[in-house]
């Protein structure tokens, strides 16, 4: 039996557009609170003044606010009626159990007390379901909704584990990339910050479409299944069952000042001048965002192949969440380089042509036999 979350949310108010008229305070309208989307629903995060703890991830919790929009109909999840009351099961990756438990079990205890439910959590490291049971359906629904919001918040803090990619590491392109590296070091080595440590591993040249946090085998299978559905729904129609011929040519920088460059990338375009590669990239990301497997970062995918990155200076295997946005702490750790001469001398450098025949679900911090990233799944064009 499908039923709706009701009762007070922990720091959130449900907004069901066109279905429920919730009273909004003028203060909240002014503050424009953050909206969080979970399972097709939109929650508005209220501001809560909390003391900052040393172990913030362990101590953070969500508190119940005044209840409104209670008992609104929804089929977001299933609540089963049992002989002893009601029950709801939640599939949760084991790395996230600790956020439901909280420091010294405080979060779990508070949830159980405030919703009058019992919450059963598998042992650490054991994949399974969190089971919520209670005498009242409304209490079970409230506990489930709070857990969903809680986990969504902490999932966004996890480092990404996988990413969708196009491989650009064909031998001819690798050879041209090594030529580019050699010439840059020969002609621009005296420019501030330029060194061999900045360059990408040629075996790992790629386009990143988007990043994912996949915390167990079930989530990886879900991502692989979605890739195949995308192939059937639109990719085959766009590609015609044939590889996409693309050219990698020219270089550009990410930030505003070429004298303080952190990321230099090679530009990529379809050889026939069409936008098919861009359309496939945008639609894949749109589908993965809609599924909840990926966070929306931009309106459209920026197709680029990183060739130099200051993150590589300290860690040759470093991979950032998104080349176009680095956190403040990341910028503090970076030593930028002067890319003016590189841009002037290599503005139109030709890296070669690539036949793209697959989208890869690549594993972060991994290497396969070819030197590219190990894969968890793929979408083949032909």
3-state secondary structure the chain: CEECCCCCCECEEEECCCCCCCCCCHHHHHHCCCEEEECCEEEEECCCCCCCCCCHHHHCCCCECCCCCCCCCCCCEECEEECCEEEEEEEECHHHHHHHHCHHHHHHHHHHHHHCEEEECCCCCCCEEEEEEECCHHHHHHHHHHHHHHHHHHHCCCCCCEEEEEECCCHHHHHHHHHHHHHHHHHHCCCCCCCHHHECCHHHCEEEEEEECCCCHHHHHHHHHHHHHHHHHHHHHHHCCCCEEEEEEEEEECCCCHHHECEEEEEEEECCCCCHHHHHHHHHHHHHHHHCCCCCCCCCCCCEEEEEEHHHHCCCCCCCCCCCCCCHHHHHHCCCECCHHHHHHCCCCEEEEEEECEEEEEECCCCCCCCCCCEEEEEECC
Task: Check residue 46 and give its pLDDT.
Answer: 52
- Tell me the CA distances in angstroms from 160 to 150, 164, 165, 321, one per residue in order: 18, 11, 14, 7
- The Cα 141–Cα 185 span in angstroms is 62
Task: Check residue 1 and give its pLDDT.
Answer: 46
**Residue 132 structure tokens:** 């919520």
DSSP code, position 235: I
- The Cα 210–Cα 227 span in angstroms is 13
- For residue 380, the SS3 value is strand
pLDDT in tens, the chain (382 residues): 444 444 444 444 333 333 343 444 444 444 455 555 555 555 555 544 434 434 444 444 444 443 333 333 345 689 999 998 999 999 999 999 999 999 999 999 999 999 999 999 999 999 999 999 999 999 999 999 999 999 999 998 999 999 999 999 999 999 999 999 999 999 999 999 999 999 999 999 999 999 999 999 999 999 999 999 999 999 999 999 999 999 999 999 998 899 999 999 999 999 999 999 999 999 999 999 999 899 888 889 999 999 999 999 987 767 644 444 433 344 456 899 999 999 999 999 999 999 999 999 999 999 999 999 999 999 999 9
């Amino acid at each position: 039996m499908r039923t709706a979350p009701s009762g007070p949310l922990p720091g959130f108010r449900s907004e069901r557009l066109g279905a429920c008229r919730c009273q909004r305070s003028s203060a909240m309208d002014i503050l424009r609170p953050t909206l969080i989307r979970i399972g097709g629903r939109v929650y508005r995060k209220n501001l809560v003044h909390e003391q900052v703890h040393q172990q913030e991830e362990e101590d953070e919790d969500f508190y119940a606010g005044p209840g409104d929009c209670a008992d609104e109909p929804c089929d977001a999840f299933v609540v089963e009626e049992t002989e002893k009351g009601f029950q709801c099961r939640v599939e949760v990756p084991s790395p996230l159990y600790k956020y439901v438990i909280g420091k010294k079990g405080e979060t779990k205890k508070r949830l159980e007390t405030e919703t009058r439910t019992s919450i059963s959590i598998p042992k650490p490291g054991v994949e399974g379901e969190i089971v919520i049971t209670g005498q009242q359906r409304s209490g079970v629904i409230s506990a489930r909704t709070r857990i969903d919001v809680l986990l969504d918040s902490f999932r966004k803090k996890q480092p990404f584990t996988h990413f969708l990619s196009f491989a650009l590491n064909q031998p001819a392109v690798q050879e041209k990339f090594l030529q580019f590296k050699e010439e840059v070091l020969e002609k621009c080595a005296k420019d501030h910050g330029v060194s061999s440590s900045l360059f990408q591993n040629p075996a790992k040249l790629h386009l990143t479409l988007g990043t994912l946090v996949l915390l167990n085998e079930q989530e990886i299978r879900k991502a692989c299944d979605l890739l195949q559905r995308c192939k059937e729904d639109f990719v085959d129609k766009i590609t015609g069952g044939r590889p996409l011929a693309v050219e990698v040519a020219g270089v550009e920088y990410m930030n505003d000042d070429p004298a303080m460059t952190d990321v230099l990338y090679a530009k990529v375009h379809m050889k026939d001048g069409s936008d098919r590669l861009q359309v496939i990239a945008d639609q894949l990301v749109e589908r993965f965002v809609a599924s909840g497997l990926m966070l929306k970062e931009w309106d459209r995918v920026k197709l680029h192949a990183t060739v130099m990155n200051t993150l590589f200076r300290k860690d040759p295997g470093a991979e950032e969440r998104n080349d176009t946005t680095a956190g403040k702490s990341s910028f503090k750790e970076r030593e930028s380089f002067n890319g003016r001469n590189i841009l002037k001398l290599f503005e139109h450098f030709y890296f070669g042509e690539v036949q793209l025949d697959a989208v890869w679900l690549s594993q972060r911090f991994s290497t396969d036999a070819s030197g590219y990233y190990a894969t968890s799944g793929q979408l083949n064009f032909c």
